[in-house]
Amino acid sequence: MDNSQNQTPATTNFIKNIIENDLQTKRHTTIITRFPPEPNGYLHIGHAKSICLNFGLANTFNGTCNLRFDDTNPEKETEEYIQSIMNDVSWLGFKWHGEVKYASDYFDKLYECAEYLISQSRAYVCDLSFDEMKLTRGTLVNVGTNSPYRNRNADENLLLFRKMRDGEFEDGTKTLRLKIDMSSPNINMRDPIIYRIKKIHHIRTADKWCIYPMYDFTHCISDALENITHSCCTLEFADHRLLYDWIIHHLVNDGIISHTPRQIEFSRLELQYTVTSKRKLNELVVNNLVSGWDDPRMPTISGMRRRGYPKDGIHLFINRCGVSKSPNIMDLAVLESSVREVLEGNAKRLMAVLNPLKITLTNFDETIGSKKSPFHSKHENMGERMVELTREIYIEQDDFMETPIAKWQRLSLGGEVRLRHSYIIKCDEIIKDDNGNIIQLNCSIDKNTLGRNPEDRKVKGVIHWVSVTKSIPCIVRLYDRLFTKAEPDHHTSDFKQLINPNSLDEVNAYIEPAVNTLHPEEVVQFERLGYFVADRYDFNLTNKTYIFNKTVGLRDVWKN
């Protein structure tokens, strides 16, 4: 078992304080939380916050956390989404308690609760269409008006509700509504719908039901049935809490259910330069604006995984986001620095060249040696490899300047530089094509400098390189922000118009032969360039396809 569950940070927050108090006052002896995703898309970074919070609380207080699919909208929900969500939660290092749960497990019980509320004249069958209902709901300043069907008696309602269940009415022709208060200042209390007719196949209950309960009705009762003590959700549900408590109160008081869960709201996590809404992310996928839900540019958990973000980096970031009721719009740089911090001690170092400039080492001969070098200077246990110099090598184009600027420490005509893990070389000659572009350099090796510095002078610059004959060609995908605006959601135009057309670039690169020791999903640092991950699917040693995704650069490049 990995240890990420133990890395739940020691920092406190208002929800922890509530729980501590509940335990101290013996209001609860043990806590049960839940993570309740709707399987209508892949999870994103915002869900990671909810997951880390709910599972983290359970771990901190020796409680348990359920994974419960809120599967009450059959038209949008798929088995693929269910699988992906389970994979993502597990990948983040969390274990749900017992079997995976589904709101649909409770459809019978929910139906029973609805009949009970009808019998108590707390619910009625309404024939208003959705449009009519909208018109009679009122607004924030105007109260709503009672439905003409509000005073149907319990027997008639029961009969009609059973007919709804039995498929005798068409979609949208009838609903079951709670009878609360059409003049409540809280619109959620104005006779909310709790059941609607949808003659749609359900992924789990197949065609057993043609009426489906609404989220507000389902969620609180599911929480109660699972003995959830603290039901943490995002702030948009704050206005629904009154309804949550109303439903629970009426059912608990009469012994229909036996437990009172408590809803606590915290602010949603949003990340700059991206969107955190499954619906919007789905639009990117179906419009082929990205390669799929797990495109490394996506803020999905699977996208971040494919990008090479380690789960511990995500945990660290979520910890830095904190838990509160204040807006939580995070700078991309915070996420990236969290990822970088975790990778720093964990990623092997290799050399790769992305924009090659060829060098011929004119005095290369059989006296030239090679050095074994560790994959990480601070972690010997990561092993070492031979870094073999050859007559022809590649360096990065931008590590050479014909006429160097002041303080230039890399290579220039007549200047010297150390080849990382190898000798010092000097540039003697530049070769250009007919258009004046530099196509090659001729350099000479100082043969006394393998593993030691010359005594008569200081050569400060060190550059990375690869052998022309020994290196292995590969493809490197480079990423930029997915959107051109920090808050693509908050503009009036279609958010898809704000997508960055240059968010993906693919280059051919060369890597030292030790690339053969890597495995898919391994993140390495290409020295001086950044962290790169061997793609989960497209890095294949057998086929010799070596595709890397850039995880993150070595420093924050977004700063102005």
Residues forming the active site = 38, 268, 278
| Residue from the set 4, 31, 42, 46 that interacts with ligand ATP by CB under 6 A | 46
Task: Give the interface segment with Mg ion, choosing from 37-45, 84-92, 130-138, 361-369 (CB under 5 A).
Answer: 37-45
Residues paired with residue 342 on neighbouring β-strands, in sequence order: none
CB-wise, 105 or 270, nearer to ligand ATP?
270
Q: Which is nearest to 478 in space by CA: 400, 408, 539, 552?
A: 552
268 binds ligand ATP (CB under 6 A): yes
Q: How far is the CB of 137 from ligand ATP (least distance, A)?
A: 22
Task: Compare residues 262 and 349 and give the one whose CB is closer to ligand ATP.
Answer: 262
Q: Which amino acid does the sequence have at 46? A: G
Residue 302 is a binding residue for ligand ATP (CB under 6 A) = no
Give the residue with the Cβ less far from ligand ATP, 39 or 356. 39
Q: How far is the CB of 176 from ligand ATP (least distance, A)?
A: 22
CA dihedral 94, 96, 100, 104 (to 10 degrees): -110
Q: At closest approach, how far in Å is the CB of 247 from Mg ion?
A: 18
In the region spanning residues 59 to 78, those forming contacts with ligand ATP, defined by CB under 6 A, are 70
d(CA 195, CA 177): 7
Q: Using CA atoms, how far apart are residues 544 and 541, in angstroms rounded to an integer?
A: 5
Q: For residue 257, how far is the Cα from the chain centroid?
A: 36
Please, which residue, 69 or 246, has the CB nearer to ligand ATP?
69
Torsion of CA 16, 18, 21, 23, to 10 degrees: -70
Using CB distances below 5 to 8 A depending on partner kind, what does residue 37 bind out of Mg ion, ligand ATP, none? ligand ATP
Q: CA-CA distance, 137 to 536, in Å (whole number)?
A: 51
Q: Between helices 311-321 and 332-344, what is the axis angle to 10°?
A: 140
Query: Which residue, 191 or 265, has its beta carbon nearer to ligand ATP?
Result: 265
Q: Which residues pair with 398 in a beta bridge?
A: none
Q: Which of 9, 22, 23, 38 binds ligand ATP (CB under 6 A)?
A: 38
Q: Which does 50 bind (CB under 5 to 8 A by kind): Mg ion, ligand ATP, none?
A: ligand ATP
Answer for which of 60, 119, 188, 234 binds ligand ATP (CB under 6 A) is 234
The number of beta carbons lying within 10 Å of the beta carbon of residue 90 is: 12
For position 315 contacting ligand ATP by CB under 6 A, the verdict is no
Contacts of residue 468, defined as CB under 8 A and 6 or more positions apart, other chains included, come to 358, 390, 392, 393, 394, 510
Min dist. Cβ of residue 85 to Mg ion (A): 13
Of 305, 267, 202, 306, the C-alpha closest to 46 is: 267
Q: How many residues bind ligand ATP (CB under 6 A)?
A: 15
Note the residues at the interface with ligand ATP (CB under 6 A).
36-38, 46-47, 49-50, 70, 233-234, 268-269, 276-278
